[in-house]
């Protein structure tokens, strides 16, 4: 599955490839209200959904997911999905699952580390992402890492009884 992927180490964070042993953590995090409200997919996240993701996307190389650790403790996850070798592109996602890790700059650092990994190790040229327009903190982090807004899809998703805009952003590998 992820055996050939490297561990990514920074000054404060360590990013390691996800395993099936992380299922309980991912399920817990994805079902917390704070994390769930920033995802378009809001159904209850189950172990079966996560295991299907690993078996159909991770194992096939269509997605790469890592666990974010701070001081040896897992705090969240980063991933690329819809990776296409032909176009050297993928879509980025992140969430910090542990409440006591919010507001400490971990999201910024993990985003920067993982996007750089995508460019240098995975040979990606373009990393895109989607963010709900109400998620201003994430938008600010993405912008500070170098993502540029490419467009707003007005009323793209219907969540919690109302329509929401989705902002599309991307970062290009300037060294390619």
pLDDT of residue 61: 87
Residue linked to tokens 């540029």: 148
Right CATH number for 8-172 from 3.40.640.10, 3.40.50.1000, 3.40.50.620, 3.40.630.30? 3.40.630.30
Q: Is the pLDDT confidence value at 151 over 80?
A: yes
Residue linked to tokens 């994430």: 138
- Residues present in the chain in total: 176
pTM: 0.93
Contact 108, 115 (CB under 8 A): no
Q: Compute the mean pLDDT over every residue in the chain, rounded to the nearest whole number.
A: 93
Q: Which residues contact 7 (CB under 8 A, 6 or more apart)?
A: 14, 15, 16, 17
pLDDT of residue 3: 53
Give residue limits of the domains in the chain.
8-172
């Amino acid at each position: 599955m992820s055996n050939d992927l490297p561990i990514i180490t920074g000054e404060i964070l360590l990013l390691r490839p996800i395993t099936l042993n992380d299922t309980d953590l991912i399920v817990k995090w994805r079902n917390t209200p704070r994390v769930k409200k920033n995802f378009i997919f809001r159904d209850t996240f189950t172990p079966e959904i996560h295991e299907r993701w690993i078996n159909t996307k991770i194992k096939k190389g269509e997605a790469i997911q890592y666990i974010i650790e701070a001081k040896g403790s897992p705090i969240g996850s980063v991933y690329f999905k819809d990776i296409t070798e032909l176009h050297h592109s993928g879509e980025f996602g992140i969430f910090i699952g542990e409440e006591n890790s919010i507001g400490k700059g971990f999201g910024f650092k993990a985003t920067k580390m993982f996007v750089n990994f995508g460019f240098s190790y995975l040979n990606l040229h373009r990393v895109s992402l989607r963010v709900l327009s109400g998620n201003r903190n994430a938008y600010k982090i993405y912008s500070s890492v170098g993502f540029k807004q490419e467009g707003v899809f007005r009323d793209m998703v219907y969540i919690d009884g109302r329509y929401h805009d989705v902002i599309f952003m991307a970062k290009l590998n300037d060294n390619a």
